[in-house]
Amino acid sequence: MISLEIINKATSIVILTNSDSFANASAIYTYILTLHKKVSLVCIENEIDTKLSCIPWFSAVRTTTGSSHDLLIDVKLETKSLYEWFKLNNIKLNKKISTALYISLLQDINYFVTEISNGIIFAYISELVSSGADYRICNQSVLHNLPLSFFRLKSKMFAEMILHDNARVIVLFIAQDDLKSTGSSLNDAYLLMLEALNITHVQTAILLNKDLDYELIKLIKSEKF
C-alpha cells in the first residue's frame, strides 16, 4: 500500500478498481474522503458486479480517469495487508471502511470455504463488526441475492462439466460468450465452482478458459476432506 506521506501530499487522487478489488478500493476511498481531498473511484475493466452494491460508494464508480490527478492508486493488495495498513497508521475504522473490509475478507476466503488458520480471520471479522460493519446486509446481498443471470450461467456450465479421478475432480469451462449471453460475470463462475464442491466426492474444482485453449483460470480445493 502507498505511504500516507504520498497520499497527504497529493491534491487529486484516482483509485483504479474492478470487481475483485472494489471492496478494498472503497475502504481506501472512504479514508481519503476524510482528508477532504479530491478523489475518484474508476473501473476501466468490466462493470462492478451488482452483488457488491452493498459496498459503500458503489454508485460513485466512474469509467474514465480524466486528466487532472497527481496520484493514481491501483488497488491490488489483499485485505489483511490493507487492514494492517489501517491499524499501523492508527486510522479509525468507521462504518463504511469496516463494511468494505468485511466484504473483501469474504472474497479472500471464498465465502468461508477456504480454511481459516488460527482464528486470525475471525478476529479481523469480530473487530470489523464491532467497528460497525453492516454484515447482515452484506451477507444477504453477496451470499443470497442471486440474479437470474447466475442461474443461466449455472445451467450452461454444469451442462458442460466433466468429472475426473473417480469424481474427485470437477472441471468447469467458461468463455466470454457464455458471460455475455447470460449477463453474468466471472465472479459468478467462481461462486459456481464453490457450489460444485458440494457434489458428493468432489474435492477439487477447476475452471478452464475455452477462449484460450483451455488455459487454467482458477483451482479451488475443498477443505471438507
Same domain, 23 and 85: yes
Q: Each residue of 3-45: pLDDT tens digit?
A: 899 999 999 999 999 888 899 999 999 999 999 999 999 997 7
CATH number, domain containing residue 179: 3.10.310.30
Say what the pLDDT of residue 174 is.
Answer: 97
Longest Cα–Cα distance of the chain, Å, equals: 59
Judge contact between 19 and 49, C-beta under 8 A. yes
DSSP state of 62: B
Range of the domain at 101: 4-143
Q: Which grid cell sits at 96?
A: 463504511
Same domain, 111 and 62: yes
- Can you give the pTM of this predicted structure? 0.69
* Confidence check: pLDDT of 225 > 60: no
CATH number, domain containing residue 88: 3.90.1640.10
Same domain, 79 and 138: yes
Say what the pLDDT of residue 144 is.
Answer: 67
Burial of residue 133, with CB atoms counted within 10 A of its CB: 0-12 exposed, 13-18 middle, 19 or more buried: buried
* Residue 216: strand, helix, or coil: strand
Same domain, 29 and 122: yes
Q: Which grid cell sits at 111?
A: 465465502
